[in-house]
Amino acid sequence: MGEATPEELDSWIDALTRSTGPGDDAARVRMLTQLERLTSAADGFKAVVTAAFSRSQRQTCRLPEKAERVERSIAVQVGMARRESPHRGARRVGLAMVLTTEMPHTLAALRTGRIDEWRATVIVRETATVSREDRGKIDARIGAEIDRLETVSVRCLEKEVRARAYEADREVFVRAREQAVKDRRVSLRPLPGGMVRLSATVPLVEGVAAYATLVRAAATAAASGDKRSRGAVMVDTLLDRVIHGVVPAGPGARCVNVPAAKAPVVPIAVNLVVSDATLLAGGDEPAQCGEFGPIPADLARELVLAADGEGLLTLRRVYANPTGIVAMESRSRCFPPGVARLIRTRDHTCRMPYCDAPVRHIDHITPVADGGATTATHGQGLCEGCNHAKQVVGWSTRVVDDRTGRHTVETITPTGRVYRSTAPPPPRCLESTG
């Protein structure tokens, strides 16, 4: 066959969907190997198409000051086409540009299915710090040694490429480490069961020291007959020291093994959407806790009690009625705090399809200049990146009727693709459950 056209790809998908697979195990294993190559070849082709799309979109932008927005617009479009967040979309674009311009041998290995997309990503990531020339040399060696490299594990490949990057330019490698230290951070991700993962990216020595401190606390507790699990003591120790604060032993002291002096607890605010059935009648309908998603009913009641009792949490309670969250309206051009909070509570996260970044801007779905109203219905929560992407020529959004009765926004991209985003369901309330 010749060029892979969208129509041709449709017929392949159709054939795969209808296939039942070969009749014996040797053929099944061979089929798995070929399908894996097909997946990698498709990923390599995606990189080529992504790079061509990015170049073409950039050509439409003649104003340097708008370049950043065009980059965001490209990232959102690539992300949506691949059903991924704009953040992932931006990384796909970066990978595609490096593969197609700086690493032809790695791209060829991917396109022929000898390495998969993750291995190609690792190669690009590990050579990010070296010059273009050195990267080209590392790429050529990968091409020359592909027979061996296609058989090694991802971790071996990672170590080998990292070692070559280090050989190529030790100074750059040291500077990259300094930058990594500067980029230390703490993040929070929601987990099921009313839990979150609190993680910190820290320099190696301090990370190991902090972990050893927690392990020691667990061992001490176990020796004194504490019945909590090792993990539970480590978490309790960590939270106790962070939330209640511990005064260091003296100037320059880094060890925190001193009696704890209680620091004032920092009050925080979370948006909790809870039905009156859950709150007042002991119902088991989960509540929505801001960007953290659904939490169990008993935890929601616990949070409400904690908010009233200890002042640790300031809860903004918004009750849900049978048709959704109560609407509010404003004549002002800017969204007043009440309406903005309502939109944030309704949308949870950025409304751009596949984006789950926290809401940073309340956006007029129809611009005010075109008669857009400042109401909850005509507003949506967007992250900063998506809001900037949608300012680029060719994007449009409108509110549409959805059969679920929930707030739905239709987004049309510069290439004319249409995506819909529906607000997550609010908790049911007493009337609708009873």
Cβ density class 346-365: b for 16+ within 10 Å, e for less: bbbbbbbbbbebebebbbbb
What is the closest distance, in whole angstroms, from the C-beta atom of residue 381 to Zn ion in the complex? 9
* Residue whose CB is less far from Zn ion, 89 or 283: 89
What is the closest distance, in whole angstroms, from the C-beta atom of residue 378 to Zn ion in the complex? 18
* Residue whose CB is less far from Zn ion, 138 or 389: 389
| Rounded alpha-carbon distances, angstroms, from residue 236 to 26, 240, 255, 365 | 53, 6, 18, 45
Distance CA 103, CA 128 (A): 11
What is the closest distance, in whole angstroms, from the C-beta atom of residue 357 to Zn ion in the complex? 5
What is the closest distance, in whole angstroms, from the C-beta atom of residue 352 to Zn ion in the complex? 4
What is the closest distance, in whole angstroms, from the C-beta atom of residue 327 to Zn ion in the complex? 24
* Residue whose CB is less far from Zn ion, 117 or 291: 291
* Residue whose CB is less far from Zn ion, 81 or 122: 81
Q: Which residues bind Zn ion (CB under 5 A)?
A: 350, 352, 355, 357, 383, 386
What is the closest distance, in whole angstroms, from the C-beta atom of residue 355 to Zn ion in the complex? 3
Q: Which residues pair with 412 in a beta bridge?
A: 396, 418
What is the closest distance, in whole angstroms, from the C-beta atom of residue 91 to Zn ion in the complex? 15
What is the closest distance, in whole angstroms, from the C-beta atom of residue 232 to Zn ion in the complex? 36
Distance CA 229, CA 217 (A): 12
Distance CA 207, CA 321 (A): 47
Residue at 42: amino acid letter:
A
What is the closest distance, in whole angstroms, from the C-beta atom of residue 395 to Zn ion in the complex? 13
φ, ψ for residue 105, nearest 5 deg: -70, -40
φ, ψ for residue 205, nearest 5 deg: -65, -50
What is the closest distance, in whole angstroms, from the C-beta atom of residue 85 to Zn ion in the complex? 7
φ, ψ for residue 309, nearest 5 deg: -85, -60
| CA proximity to 186, closest of 204, 200, 197 | 200
* Residue whose CB is less far from Zn ion, 130 or 383: 383
| CA proximity to 363, closest of 377, 353, 355 | 377
* Residue whose CB is less far from Zn ion, 339 or 350: 350
| CA proximity to 210, closest of 229, 179, 183, 184 | 184
Per DSSP bridges, beta strands 195-201 and 294-295 are unpaired
| Rounded alpha-carbon distances, angstroms, from residue 65 to 69, 71, 262, 317, 382 | 8, 11, 49, 42, 22
* Residue whose CB is less far from Zn ion, 109 or 357: 357
Which residues touch 213 (CB under 8 Å, ≥6 apart)?
237, 256, 257
* Residue whose CB is less far from Zn ion, 127 or 421: 421
| Rounded alpha-carbon distances, angstroms, from residue 109 to 115, 144, 158, 388 | 6, 11, 16, 36
* Residue whose CB is less far from Zn ion, 115 or 383: 383
φ, ψ for residue 408, nearest 5 deg: -130, 135
* Residue whose CB is less far from Zn ion, 170 or 417: 417
Do 422 and 434 meet the contact criterion of CB atoms below 8 Å apart? no
